[in-house]
Structure formats: structure tokens, C-alpha cells
């Protein structure tokens, strides 16, 4: 798209009158979150409560909320869900897609340290904006894996966890569809809350530079499409099962989706 047209469309999408006005909640129901995580991972609730108690200490020691923020990045509650996932899966690798300044990477690295895991972290972006971790802590890879998720990730690393926090429609489609073909990779996706879902998206799917909180995000649209639900705001998307996978969207600030192969929950 021509840069001038892109700029005009960006301005129009930011300032046009519309009914879609997302307000991201600052409070999360911690009781509901802990019980949803226990349920999704098939873990005893007391295990998740113990992890939560330990996680409060970690957050306070590292001053995560003040140094990394809570909105527009992976919040403490979302990072805690990833912490429980790491504790559950104890993976060889965690692959993040969408690094930005490395706030979420920092939280993940601190969890790996606290849980005494030997998990390697690879984090993909298309631009280096990293501030919160050092090159010897996680490997930043500047590459767009759209259309090449099998070669670039699933067949390249031993199975583990993918944390997808980048917004392009094509990338979301490709990562989700590729992960669902496997029963050995766990996928978590940020920004799946109904609050960030504008049911009447007006931006083109092939122009990721226009996506913002004001336009709405594609995440729930893509989940609805791939899981065969017509309306992206349908509540059934928040807890859904296929023959091979279970999808759960936790009620956090931005909505964290967890897509688990059922074979791993039973194991």
C-alpha cells in the first residue's frame, strides 16, 4: 500500500466515529482465573494456588508491574498463566512470536529461573526493539514465519510452547492452523478478549500496519474461523473442544487463549 494511503487510512481508522470503543479492564477476578487455569491444565486447584503465592513474590522482587507495565503488554495475570504452563509442561523450548521490547520475554525468563527449568527461549520479531533481556538470556530471531511455520518452528525445535503475541491476520491463521495439526505443541495467544474484538473490522486483512486497539484485533476472528464458530464474539469460543484439542480463553486484561493438545492433558 502506498505510504500516503496507509497514513490516511490510519488517521481515518483512529478518528472516525464508531461504536467500537474498547476499555481494557484494570481488574482481573483472580479466583476465577486460578480455577480456570487448574481446569484447563487438569491440575489440582491447590497446586495453582501454591504457584500463585510464589509468583506474587517473584513479581514483587523483580518489580514487574512498575518496570514492564500491565496494559498493552503481557500483564502479570497473563504471565502467571504462562508460568503455570511452563510448570506443567517443563518444555525444552519456548518460542515467542512478537517480542517488542521484551517485556513478556523478561517475565517468561524470570519464571523459567524461579521454576528451575532448563527451557531455551527463542523470540521472533520483524524488528529489534529489545530493552528487557540480554542476548545470552534469549535468542532474538528477526524473521516473519508466516507461511513457513512448520519449517521455521514446528519441525525445527523439539516440541514445547509457542507464545504468539503479534497481530497480522495471516500469521495468526498460519500459526494456529499449523499447531492444530500437531499433538505435541502447546499454543498460547495474547489479545483474545471479546473486548479487543471489533465484530465489524474495516481494515484489510493483508495490511498489519493498520491494526490497533482502535480498529480492533483479528485474534478472535481467526479463532472463530479456524474453530468453525460464526460469530467471533460467541462465548462458546472461550471454552471449546475439538477431537484433539481444547481451547480456553482466560478472562485477563487482554484475554489469553490456551490451545492444548488433549493428549498432553491426559498424559
CB of 74 or CB of 114, closer to ligand SAM: 74
CB of 84 or CB of 188, closer to ligand SAM: 188
CB of 246 to ligand SAM, least distance (A): 23
CB of 32 to ligand SAM, least distance (A): 22
> Which residues contact ligand SAM (rule: CB under 6 A)?
73-74, 97-100, 103-104, 124-127, 144, 146, 165-166, 168, 171, 208
CB of 94 or CB of 240, closer to ligand SAM: 94
CB of 266 to ligand SAM, least distance (A): 30
CB of 66 or CB of 116, closer to ligand SAM: 66
Closest CA to 169 of 224, 117, 127: 224
CB of 45 to ligand SAM, least distance (A): 27
d(CA 73, CA 100): 9
Amino acid at each position: 500500500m502506498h505510504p500516503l494511503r496507509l497514513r490516511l487510512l490510519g488517521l481515518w481508522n483512529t478518528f472516525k466515529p464508531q461504536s467500537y470503543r474498547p476499555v481494557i479492564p484494570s481488574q482481573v477476578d483472580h479466583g476465577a482465573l486460578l480455577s480456570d487455569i487448574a481446569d484447563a491444565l487438569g491440575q489440582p486447584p491447590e497446586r495453582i494456588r501454591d504457584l500463585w503465592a510464589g509468583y506474587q513474590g517473584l513479581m514483587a522482587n523483580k518489580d514487574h508491574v512498575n518496570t514492564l507495565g500491565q496494559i498493552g503488554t503481557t500483564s502479570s495475570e497473563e504471565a502467571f498463566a504462562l508460568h503455570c504452563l511452563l510448570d506443567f509442561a517443563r518444555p525444552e523450548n519456548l518460542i515467542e512470536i512478537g517480542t517488542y521490547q521484551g517485556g513478556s520475554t523478561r517475565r517468561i525468563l524470570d519464571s523459567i529461573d524461579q521454576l528451575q527449568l532448563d527451557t531455551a527461549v527463542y523470540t521472533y520479531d520483524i524488528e529489534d526493539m529489545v530493552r528487557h533481556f540480554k542476548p545470552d538470556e534469549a535468542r532474538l530471531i528477526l524473521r516473519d514465519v508466516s507461511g513457513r511455520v512448520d519449517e521455521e518452528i514446528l519441525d525445527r525445535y523439539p516440541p514445547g510452547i509457542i507464545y504468539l503475541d503479534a497481530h497480522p491476520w495471516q500469521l495468526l491463521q498460519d500459526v494456529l492452523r499449523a499447531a492444530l495439526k500437531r499433538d505435541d505443541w502447546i499454543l498460547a495467544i495474547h489479545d483474545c478478549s471479546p473486548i479487543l474484538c471489533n465484530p465489524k473490522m474495516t481494515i484489510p486483512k493483508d495490511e498489519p500496519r493498520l491494526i490497533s486497539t482502535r480498529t480492533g484485533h483479528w485474534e478472535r476472528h481467526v479463532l472463530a474461523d479456524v474453530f468453525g464458530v460464526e460469530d467471533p464474539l460467541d462465548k462458546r469460543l472461550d471454552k471449546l473442544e475439538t477431537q484433539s484439542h481444547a481451547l480456553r480463553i482466560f478472562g485477563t486484561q487482554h484475554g489469553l487463549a490456551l490451545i492444548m493438545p488433549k493428549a498432553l492433558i491426559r498424559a
